[in-house]
A and B are shown apart, each in its own frame.
Chain A
Amino acid sequence: MTVETPKPVEQLERVVIRFAGDSGDGMQLTGDRFTQETAVFGNDLSTLPSFPAEIRAPAGTIPGVSSFQLHFASRDILTPGDHPHVLVAMNPAALRANVADLRPGATIIVDTHDFTARNLAKAGYDANPLDDGSLDDFTVHAIDLTGIAVAATSEFGLSRKDAARSKNMLALGLLSWMYGRPVEGTLSHLASKFAGRPSVRDANIAALRAGWNFGETTEAFAVRYEVEPAAAAPGRYRNVTGNTALSYGILAAGDRSGLPVFLGAYPITPASDVLHELSRHKGLGVTTFQAEDEIAGIGAALGAAYAGVLGVTITSGPGIALKSEAIGLAVMLELPLVVVDVQRGGPSTGLPTKTEQADLLQAMYGRNGEAPLPIVAPRSPGDCFDAALEAARIAITYRTPVMLLSDGYLANGSEPWRIPEIAALPRIEPAFATGPNRRVVEKDGSLSDVFWPYLRDESTLARPWAPPGVAGLEHRIGGIEKAGHAENGTGDISYDPANHDRMVRLRQAKVDAVAESVAGVEVDDPSGRARLLMVGWGSTYGPIGAGVRRVRDLGHDVAQVHLRHLNPFPTNLGEVLRRYDKVLVPEMNLGQLSLLLRAKYLVDAQPLTSVRGMPFGAEEMERLILDALADLGERPHRSTTLAHVRRLDLQEAGK
């Protein structure tokens, strides 16, 4: 397939496409392939898969709709986009569930095959929306995609049902033609995915080609669109999801520390993909243990850490609650452990496939007793790599469990990622104990060299890591309070009140000391005149950044800070917060970070909260920032805002 075509080509700066269909229609695969094609083409991109928690909700119903949204552009972008310019709807339910997100002027491509009276009723339509004028604001292409797919694959001897399943590839072919996407990667993907089923492979490839050719030949599509590649820093790139990047970060931490990786985990959405990914890399010395429950997952990881390897456990939502006691033990034992929480909607089972940031306070405080631990969070899918590496660095250096707070949006979303050179990454030094570390006076007055498992490093306050196998370092550790300080580092059980007070403060001081190894927060305040500061953490980076850009484009000053380290906070954070007249904290919870900031710094940090299971939209963020600026007396106000938004939309829709 070549890009040669006689049809006119229009240039666009950015496009948002949403593929929507029934759970069984292959929309995630379609979106993923279009994303890969777009990544290879060189656009910047951001994705938002959305699927039901049920594997197959009743076919044709609204709860069964699965979608994949992709935003790609010739410049760098930060979010998956607020309003699709193109909606591909494979059935009535997919249309009904998604049409409200479209702005007038958007394009809808509908597979008419399932627009039967029965399916319309299942989706809750009284009348066929394709005939009743309700879609008049949009450019609608009503096409029997299934029919074309069946016809295009007739020579391969598939059942009608199997032939119809290739309709998603037909849609992909059509969209690939419309936006000039290279399909070679998809062809080889299909060839390997269906290597064992040649007729299915050939049918899918034929459907893909038929979709492309349909776009090229039919008069319904008068123009093609072109989105130029985005400028990017030199380097080699690929597209990654957050869970993949996080897995690679763990592998890299194993490589840079020289430690084998041991993952103990129990399957849970949306963290399971990390278990799957790491299980593929046993060849790199990775052991993955699918435990009987969440508790055994972290228990085995902690046991492995005691034995001297890089212990990792992953979970989500309710899983972190189950692991709490073992995390407390890890705090007490002072052993390195990386605890990954891919946050999802809560409480309880909550919204397993949707995103949220509501586990921050649980990560901070969700254990009995004073049990502090460092917390880090990635800001984008690709950043999950760096965040995992940083979590492991802190865990190994400070002999402590570290919580890595990803979320469902980061986990399943994807973006282009500059591939790091692993060998150039900093080393992490396990610095195992090798011999006695203390000279003591015995009862008979003689001197002897002994090993104190809780004799701390003076700067990091970390204790020695002494895995079994070294003679002379035999020691016992446990969850009971112990003597573990400079005067008595034996780790022996101690119920002494003063010792307990000292140990509680020492464990806190050790976690606080992590800040010494972390750079101060960077403030993005280009003019230096901003009075409003936006503070975020985790996956809100994209929406906050997009909102800040939009507001700056309107001529306003607004500053942005995004936190990688949630505990301890960077040392300059308080000073930065106090510099601004107004501090806003957008969060997908009811104000957990803002609570911590207010408590620690006595600043009037105000939460902007949203708990819809979806990330903030860029437009929504823009409006929130403009409202805040208006409160500070900055103009223009909302009326101008809405006009501006409308103008942007028209530009984006290519009108």
Chain B
Amino acid sequence: MSTTGLPFPGLRSGVELVPTTDQPQTGKDFTSDQEVRWCPGCGDYAVLKAVQGFLPDLGLRRENIVFVSGIGCSSRFPYYLDTYGMHSIHGRAPSIATGIATAREDLSVWVVTGDGDALSIGGNHLIHALRRNVNMTILLFNNRIYGLTKGQYSPTSETGKITKSTPMGSLDHPFNPVSLALGAEATFVARTIDSDRKHLTTVLSAAAAHRGTSLVEIYQNCPIFNDGAFDAIKDNDTKADAIIPLVHGEPIVFGNGAKGLVRDSETGGVKIVAVADVGDDAILVHDAHNPDPTTAFAISRLTDAGYLNQSPIGIFRQVERPTYDDQAREQVRVARGSAPGLQAVVDGGGDVWTVDS
């Protein structure tokens, strides 16, 4: 991938140091010999297909791609891709990926996680990866439920969720993954939908090209334990009013052009208005490259916390900040220049004495 497709001319791509190949690749090259064992109708299939279809476009050498996952349905993902992969432990994939990405600049590192894995047991690792800006791409499959443990509510489930562990309804307020990532000052934050392959691929391409931690929340339907959670944004009759599409440099309008976002002087946030009432010029133009995450955060708040009838979709934020791993390697490189050898270190600076034979 060249830097020409990047929003910041001159900025290094997320995969710039990863060896490329001239050999043509297809999705089949990235398909392992393992039988895929998700439930019929699971949204994970669509994401797997999209990733297998999109990876060849990166033109990277397959052996320089690593997928790391935690625990959960989506975390089986690495087994199905014929790259290097590690299926690790619950919630810890970002920390393992941090070690991989910092040790090796020549690898394209991907984390596959879910709403329970990333936001509950692994919440701490997620926010710290985001603030450090380690060069990796995190795919957060959000089905708003615990699937692998058979249907308990998750940290993104709406309050009042009736499940086996919450027969009288869940009590906790849900996380909004995008708001959380923006709060942690992530440099790349996006949201997409499992069933929209074109949008998914576009977002993943931008995420891979981004140097730093990219967080992509993927709305993913669980047909067994939370079926229909995203129907409003998938149904052809309702999705025009449910999806607020975010495109950098474009006015934020939806509802077939009838609705749009404007700044809300009362709250300091943004609000939805009828375009006809305010005029085209008043509509907020999306600026994903704004160094200040305030507006992106305000937009993220338009996501329904309860049943999802409305959600902004697209790249919320895409800004430049030095990555942890690049800087860590740079410190080693600079230190090497003036370093004494190991023998000199072990010998110590002074206070050394010799015993003669």
- Give the interface of A toward B (CB within 8 A): 36, 39-40, 42, 185, 188-189, 232-239, 248, 251-252, 255, 260, 262, 264, 281-287, 289, 291-293, 295-297, 299-309, 311, 325-326, 328-329, 333, 419-423, 467-480, 492-493
Contacts and interface: CB of A to CB of B under 8 A. Distances in A.
Interface size class of B (residues with CB under 8 A): 35 or more
Nearest to A310: B103
A476 B103 contact: no
Nearest to B87: A478
B128 A296 contact: yes
Contact of A251 (B87, B125, B128, B345): B345
24 contacts: A39-B351, A234-B356, A236-B347, A238-B351, A239-B351, A281-B345, A283-B332, A283-B335, A289-B328, A291-B95, A291-B128, A292-B128, A300-B96, A303-B96, A304-B100, A306-B100, A307-B100, A328-B89, A419-B352, A422-B346, A423-B343, A469-B64, A474-B83, A476-B32
A422 B103 contact: no
A524 B143 CA distance: 65
Contacts of A307: 66, 99-100, 103-104, 107
Contacts of B356: 234
A282 B34 CA distance: 41
Nearest to B97: A303
Contacts of B34: 476, 492-493
B342 A284 contact: yes
B340 A283 contact: yes
B78 interface: yes
A421 B352 CA distance: 14
A550 to B, nearest CB: 26
B107 to A, nearest CB: 6
Contacts of B279: none
B95 A237 contact: no
B38 interface: no
Nearest to A251: B342
A238 B355 CA distance: 11
A474 B102 contact: no
B347 A419 contact: yes
B226 to A, nearest CB: 24
Given A251-B346, A252-B342, A468-B104, 6 more contacts: A251-B342, A281-B335, A282-B335, A299-B95, A333-B86, A420-B346
Given A420-B346, A421-B343, A422-B343, A478 B351 contact: no
B64 to A, nearest CB: 6
Contact of B84 (A40, A283, A475): A475
Contacts of B125: 292, 295-296, 299
A282 B331 contact: yes
Task: With a 10 A CB-CB cut-off, give which of A287, A296, A309 has the most chain B CB atoms.
Answer: A296
B332 A285 contact: yes
Interface in B75-104: 78-79, 81-89, 92, 94-104
Contacts of B104: 307-308, 467-469
A364 to B, nearest CB: 21
B348 interface: yes
Nearest to B324: A289
Lowest 8 CB-CB distances: which A-B pairs, in order?
Answer: A283-B339, A303-B99, A478-B87, A299-B95, A300-B99, A303-B96, A296-B95, A283-B335
Nearest to A39: B351
B193 to A, nearest CB: 27
Contacts of A325: 89, 92
B102 A287 contact: yes
B233 to A, nearest CB: 33
A306 B106 CA distance: 14
A471 B88 CA distance: 23
Nearest to B71: A479
Contact of B88 (A292, A467, A475, A478): A478
Contacts of B68: 303
Contacts of B88: 299, 329, 478-479
A296 B86 CA distance: 16
A42 B355 contact: yes
Given A292-B125, A475-B84, A308 B357 contact: no
Which of B78, B96, B99, B338 has the most A CB atoms < 10 Å from its CB? B99
Interface string B26-57: 00000010100000000000000000000000
A289 B356 CA distance: 41
Contacts of B83: 474
Contact of B355 (A232, A286, A311, A468): A232
A235 B356 CA distance: 7
B354 interface: yes
B286 interface: no
Given A248-B345, A303-B99, A307-B99, A295 B92 contact: yes
Contacts of A493: 34, 79
A477 B89 contact: no
Contacts of A477: 85-87
A309 B66 contact: no
A238 B348 CA distance: 8
B31 to A, nearest CB: 12
Nearest to B131: A292
Nearest to A232: B355
B124 A478 contact: no
B336 A283 contact: yes
A299 B348 CA distance: 32
Q: Which of A239, A476, A480 has the most CB of B within 10 A?
A: A476
Nearest to B68: A303
Contacts of B124: 292-293, 296
A299 B86 CA distance: 12
Given A420-B346, A469-B64, A492-B34, A237 B353 contact: yes
Contacts of B86: 303, 306, 333, 476-478
Contact of B63 (A235, A287, A303, A474): A474
B92 A471 contact: no
A284 B345 contact: yes
B61 interface: yes
A251 B88 CA distance: 28
Contacts of B350: 185, 188-189
A473 B63 contact: yes
Contacts of A42: 353, 355
Contact of B103 (A291, A299, A304, A470): A304
B343 A474 contact: no
A73 to B, nearest CB: 15
Nearest to B339: A283
Contacts of A289: 98-99, 102, 328
A303 B345 contact: no
A239 B348 CA distance: 9
A283 B87 contact: no
B62 interface: yes
Nearest to B346: A248
Contacts of B89: 325-326, 328-329, 479
